[in-house]
Amino acid sequence: MEKIKIKKEYKLNVYENYVKLKTTSGHEWITPINGTFESIQDYFFKDRFNVGDYPDEIMERVTNLDVYEKNTNDTILIASFQNQQI
């Protein structure tokens, strides 16, 4: 078995995870996240979100969410989910 050599100049990349959300009427937005795939789906798929402008509230459900990971070099789509409750 070969030993792994680690270079001294190795620099840890900083990762940022976020989701792109889409609602029933087509509203879209991006927000940072922290959690498991299950907890992210539970939060965004079980609640309704206000997509209206003040003072009008338009409460809608999220239909799709895409989970992205962004590091210093790339942005990568790592998971895509559709709301099965709609």
Contact status, residue 9 vs residue 17, Cβ threshold 8 Å? no
pLDDT digits (tens, 9 = 90+) for 30-83: 999 888 889 999 999 999 999 998 899 999 999 999 999 887 678 888 899 999
In the chain, where does DSSP find H-type helix?
37-46
Rounded CA-CA distance 40/12 in Å is 26
What is each CA distance from 56 to 22, 24, 25, in whole angstroms? 19, 17, 15
Tokens of 11: 């620099």
Considering the entire predicted model, what is its pTM? 0.73
What is each CA distance from 47 to 5, 34, 54, in whole angstroms? 48, 17, 19
Domain ranges of the chain: 16-82
